Structure 1
């Protein structure tokens, strides 16, 4: 068992920094409200280190203070990578040898989400962080539908392309839009296709909890920091099998 506390100025001092916005005009009362909120969050003492108006009637705050909470790392639950991280050459070779056809992927941002940076980083040839996207893999056939794609459009395209996998990116999270859209998408695929013919459903975005895959009805969730090679390696693991 490993118990840890936050580190601020000295080891184990419990100091943390939090930021938030309150719907208040910036004045002394608003600053006092920010400190009161921080106290109720468990920061004691709480020190206001930054306050700035954010449009009419809103103020952004940064508060620094001590918490007494401890974290037991043995109780932390995460989704560990349970598949080997393959090179592009290995991925292409495994698909060609075992699947004996190109692996088909359809990707989109669904609902009103117009933020294509995430899906483009994974799919487009340019890729991200020095890694080329899935379009660069010769054994992958990739269709990037872009932004604001409706769920029926996605299902129809996946059916027409005989997709092995569907990748959905969700960045907009207001009112849990990413969760609602993902549940609607997975329900639509379950209704439209029998279990044995449904594509692999994968979602990604910075605000997803990777532990929620079963609850959302998808096969895998990828969060921030995911690279194209990691997604491609998972596709091979889930759809083709062992590279050996």
Structure 2
């Protein structure tokens, strides 16, 4: 079956749950506004199942209702993993045998982004969810520059370290800051490095479209749930075994 509908209480009933905030005080009029919005989004019937004031003049809603939209799975396009997922032992062995030096990675959060959880999860020894970060791989040389790193600082450090790859994490997305920062970064690296000598540019964060590599000027985009081993396997695939 390639055509599906949302599942709420029974199979194919089309029921969905939606949350949003409206800039109105929490009262009956606000609930009416929430239902009007839900109706315009195709939810019919819809009901407000939760409403809570979020500061003066704002109300948070959870709306539950039915939609008639269908999803055709045969037309869904996603970024599939196009490289083998290797073990840490395999990764270290390949780098040692084929690259014959350590694979150098420089990572950072750029711009005003101060959220280092993502970059730390990939790079730091402790890693995430029981999986150790790239610092634990003996054949990786890792420099984690931390948060709020400017693009010129990142370029200079990548040049100084002779980086094979640059990893950038972006969590702050207000006004598409993650997109603007990424495009600024990719443009700076293209200008600073000769063709064919630019480090591999990898970005990650929960709000990126993994298919937007060409648009953003990077080599790979990783979304939420990415593990250090996935990143390490990708780097080896592109820089060692290619």
Listed one character per residue, the Cα deviations across residues 192-237 of structure 1 (whole Å, up to 9, x for unaligned) are 1112110000000001110111110000000000000000000000
Where do residues 33-112 of structure 1 align in structure 2 (5 Å cutoff)? 33-112=33-112
Aligned to 1:191: 191
Q: Could you list the runs of 4 or more consecutive aligned residues of structure 1 that deviate by over 4 angstroms after TM superposition?
A: none
User: How far is the alpha carbon of 1:56 from its aligned partner?
Assistant: 1.2
Partners of 2:118 and 2:195 in 1: CA distance? 28
Other structure's SS at 2:160 match: helix
Does 2:131 correspond to 1:150? no
Partners of 2:126 and 2:93 in 1: CA distance? 21
Aligned to 1:114: 114
Partners of 1:28 and 1:49 in 2: CA distance? 13
Listed one character per residue, the Cα deviations across residues 17-47 of structure 1 (whole Å, up to 9, x for unaligned) are 0000011111111110011000001100011
User: How far is the alpha carbon of 1:241 from its aligned partner?
Assistant: 1.0
TM-score of the pair, normalised by structure 1? 0.98
Q: How many residues matched?
A: 242
User: How far is the alpha carbon of 1:121 from its aligned partner?
Assistant: 0.2
Does 2:27 correspond to 1:27? yes
TM-score of the pair, normalised by structure 2? 0.99
RMSD between aligned residues: 0.7
